[in-house]
Amino acid sequence: MTHPLRAPLQDGARALGLALADGQIDRLLAYLDLLAKWNKVYNLTAVRDPAEMLTHHLLDSLAVVAPLRRQTQGRPIRLLDVGSGGGLPGVVIAICCPEMAVACVDTVAKKAAFIQQAAGALGLPNLRGLHARVEAVAERFDVIASRAFATLADFTAWSAGALAEGGVWMAMKGKHPADELAALPPSIDVFHVEQLAVPGLDAERCLIWLRPLLSFP
Domain boundaries in the chain? 6-212
What is the structure's pLDDT at 22? 96
What's the confidence (pLDDT) of residue 45? 72
Q: What is the pLDDT of residue 48?
A: 72
pTM: 0.95
Task: Given CATH 3.40.50.150, say whether it is the number of domain 6-212.
Answer: yes
Query: Which stretches does DSSP call E strand in the chain?
Result: 78-82, 101-106, 127-131, 141-147, 163-173, 188-196, 205-212
The tens-digit pLDDT sequence of the chain (217 residues) is 799 999 999 999 999 999 999 999 999 999 999 988 888 777 667 667 878 889 988 999 999 999 999 999 989 999 999 998 889 999 999 999 999 999 999 999 999 999 999 999 999 999 999 999 999 999 999 999 999 889 999 999 999 999 999 999 999 999 999 999 999 999 999 999 999 999 999 999 999 999 999 754 4
pLDDT of residue 37: 87
* Confidence at residue 216, expressed as pLDDT on a 0 to 100 scale: 46
Backbone dihedral angles phi then psi of residue 103, each to the nearest 5 degrees = -115, 130
Number of other residues whose CB lies within 10 A of the CB of residue 189? 14
Q: What is the DSSP string of 135-193?
A: GG--S-EEEEEEES-S-HHHHHHHHGGGEEEEEEEEEEESS--HHHHHTS-TTEEEEEE
Short-list 48, 61, 127, CA closest to 88 = 61
